Amino acid sequence: MNPREEVLLQAAAELRRPPAAAGAGVIESWDVSVGVDGPGTRFVVFTCGCPLRCLYCHNPETWRMRDGRRVTVDEVMAELEGYRRFISVAGGGVTVSGGEPLLQPGFTAELLRRCHDGGLHTALDTSGFLGDRATDAMLADTDLVLLDIKSSDPDGYRRLTGVCLEPTLRFARRLAELGRPAWVRFVLVPGLTDDPGNVDGLARFAAELGNVERVDVLPFHRMATGKYRRLGLRFPLADVEPPDRALLARVHAQFQAYGVTSV
Ligand code: SF4
């Protein structure tokens, strides 16, 4: 078995983990961020466990649920209370990210519901691969979905993530049918996701959905290299350069040609 196959096998094992008790979940950490995890200043909860293994992942520490720590929704809400005024005044809210939050749908739904009921703006950052686990009630408590569509090409998507693309596209269409606002996130990696046909395919898909407010074009970077080393893992894209300005400009122009706002 080659190292990639081994990594993908571990990812598949995450799907077989028993769900946490109601009202509890497994997280890696929480943090406050500005401008990258939804509008305004965000209180971000990073859940643990992910069934994907994206070649460019910059959060490999969140991959395995067993590496995280158990918390109750009550504990997260108590921590969040200290930031509530600050994030509300700054036009922000709460983002549940990961890892993959839909690996723990009970915990994620309860957290989103409590925040939403408490008047906070809520966002869910997901690959959409487990979108079928998101109930309509959970999505009603979600003001914004940050949907990571990593490629529009099924073969490229599988090479990049280890899983198939269709569940993500199905989830995207469902969000559109439900009228839930979405920001699509697309990591631009030279030689991997920058093919003009791939970008055009994503731009066309996003334009047709009707609920996509913007596409975030996220330039690939290698800042996670040290994390991989500390975890004893090999960073597969260690030799790939970040995109240059010309490539970024070309990709933004492709989205804009379809009437899609890209930032
Ligand atoms: S979905 Fe996110 S957390 Fe999971 S491997 Fe991909 S980039 Fe990493």
Pocket probe mutation, ligand 1, options 37, 50, 55, 150, max atoms within 8 Å of Cβ = 50
Ligand 1 center from residue 52 Cα (angstroms): 6
Cα dihedral value 64, 65, 69, 72, nearest 10: 150
CATH of 3-15+26-257, one of 3.50.50.60, 3.40.50.720, 3.40.50.170, 3.20.20.70: 3.20.20.70
Residue in the block written with tokens 């009970």: 106
Q: What is the pLDDT of residues 210-255, one digit of tens each?
A: 999 999 999 999 999 999 999 999 999 999 999 999 999 999 999 9
Ligand 1 center from residue 177 Cα (angstroms): 26
Please state, in angstroms and as integers, the Cα–Cα distance from residue 120 to each residue in 89, 90, 106, following that order: 11, 12, 19
Global confidence as pTM: 0.97
Q: Which residues have CB under 6 Å of ligand 1?
A: 50, 52-54, 57, 59, 62, 98-100, 127
Q: What is the pLDDT of residues 28-51, one digit of tens each?
A: 999 999 988 999 999 999 999 999
73-81 and 105-117 helices, crossing angle to 10° = 40
Task: Tell me: pLDDT of 107 over 80.
Answer: yes
Pocket probe mutation, ligand 1, options 47, 100, 104, max atoms within 8 Å of Cβ = 100
Question: pLDDT averaged over the chain?
Answer: 95
State the DSSP code for 262. Answer: B
Ligand 1 center from residue 97 Cα (angstroms): 10
Ligand 1 center from residue 197 Cα (angstroms): 23
212-219: strand order across its sheet: 69-72, 24-34, 41-47, 93-97, 121-126, 144-148, 182-188, 212-219
- Nearest Cα neighbor of 188 from 228, 234, 145, 150 is 150
